[in-house]
Amino acid sequence: MRIAAARVIVTCPGRNFVTLKIVTDEGVTGVGDATLNGREQAVAAYLAEHVVPVLLGRDPARIEDTWQALYKGAYWRRGPVTMSAIAAVDTALWDIKGKVAGLPVYQLLGGRCREGVTVYGHAAAETLDDLLTDVARLTDAGYRAVRVQTAVPGLRGTYGVSADPRTYEPAGSALPAEAVWSTPRYLAHVPGVLARVRAEFGPELRLLHDAHHRLTPIEAAALGRDLEPYRLTWLEDPVPAELQEGYRLIRGHTTTPLAVGEVFNSIWDCRRLITEQLIDYIRTSVVHAGGISHLRRIFDLASLYHVRSGSHGATDLSPVCLAAALHVDLSIPNFGLQEYMPHTAETDAVFPHGYRFADGYLHPSEEPGLGVDIDEELAARYPYRPASLPLNRLEDGTLHSW
Ligand code: CS2
Ligand code: MG
């Protein structure tokens, strides 16, 4: 069997997605997500110009060899664009291998380690009352874990909060919109919100919060300490993680569990965080961390250091990525949680899939392969629309992490 064709499909059913579809000379197909929010066309061009020509004529069964050829062969290794492109190829080849073997991919990854994939949902609102209503919406639907985000009084456009809690798309306008941020206002507001949610929903509901890269290590240490009484499952991305050592300072001051990794692209971005046990959850994703093969490598390292998985699963990661993530989540020994933001009906129609939500769990498809595809005809009806992630400025105008 040989790779006969590979198509890069860019579509925008509500938001932009980039998908790679590989077709073999025996008609077996595989799909992989390559969506990098706000930088979609860069990955699409990387795939079309530099990867597809290399794939044609290759043996689709040689997944690891192809991965190494794209990683070492690029010479310019790592980074979000390269690793998202490699991820799309890797994912599509695992899809093909499952179809050829007649097995769902999780069976090729070693089989089930659990009955279902525990997911967390997003609750967010401008006011505390609306937030409690939104948390109840999720617990009523069976969610066992909820990420809590809230507007901060006096600030415009706080991360994670939108008019309609069921949808959140930060990349709204062609050019970056600007939001205003204040860490003192945020640190003064958030502990009270988590206190109220914990009081309202009791000790068993797993609560998470995303600080979205906006604090310094000592500010994060203080927040972590203030949140200790509310026993969060995790505090996410408290600081930008380029400086992995920065987490030593946080770790030294608080027992609130820490989660990081959605912007990481390779094992090198998190090796120190894991081996020094500075975090509790690694949130790398199939699409941004080099595909199923490399994600398994990261989770295998993490399993040696009591670090569990907590893969990123926002709606800018396509249903192809989510389907692949579930096969990994079901088969690793150190699974923690999977993020789940349901896609719109429009997006789900473009990406038919077999995974399903029941009672707080996602279950991957039992079909051979990943159990997801792309309807190319429907996808063609939604042309790409330029969209950028926002910028963030402090009240004095200083540029800050969004
Ligand atoms: C977030 C994302 O879901 C999360 O944890 O951090 O919403 C993130 O902001 C987007 O994926 C960026 O594109
Ligand atoms: Mg996040």
Give counts: helices (H), strands (E), the chain.
14, 16
Cβ–ligand 1 distance for 80 under 6 Å, the answer no
Contact 112/363 with Cβ under 8 angstroms?
no
Is 212 annotated in the active site?
yes
H helix or E strand, kind and range, residue 292:
helix 291-303
How far, in Å, CA of 257 to CA of 281, rounded?
8
Query: Would the CB of 40 count as within 6 Å of ligand 1?
Result: no
Which of these, 107, 102, 143, 105, lies nearest to 122 by C-alpha position? 143
Q: Is 296 helix (H, G, I), strand (E, B) or coil?
A: helix
**What structural domains and CATH numbers belong to the chain?**
3-107 (3.30.390.10), 111-366 (3.20.20.120)
How much is the pLDDT for 165? 61
Catalytic residue among 212, 288, 327, 353: 212
Residue 302 pLDDT > 90: yes
pLDDT at residue 82 is higher than 90: yes
What pTM was computed for the model? 0.97
- Mean pLDDT, the chain, rounded, equals 97
Q: Please tell me what DSSP assigns to residue 3.
A: E
CA–CA dist 206, 151 (Å, integer): 21
Identify which of 312, 337, 401 to mutate to test ligand 1's pocket (most ligand atoms within 8 A of the CB). Answer: 312
Are the beta carbons of 371 and 353 closer than 8 angstroms?
yes
Ligand 2 midpoint to CA 74 (Å): 29
Mean pLDDT along residues 252-267: 98
Average pLDDT over residues 250-272: 98
Is 159 assigned a catalytic role?
A: yes
pLDDT at 246 > cutoff 80: yes
Choose one of 316, 338, 343, 392 to mutate for the ligand 1 pocket test, by most ligand atoms within 8 angstroms of C-beta: 316
Under the banding of pLDDT at 50, 70 and 90, the label for residue 166 is: low
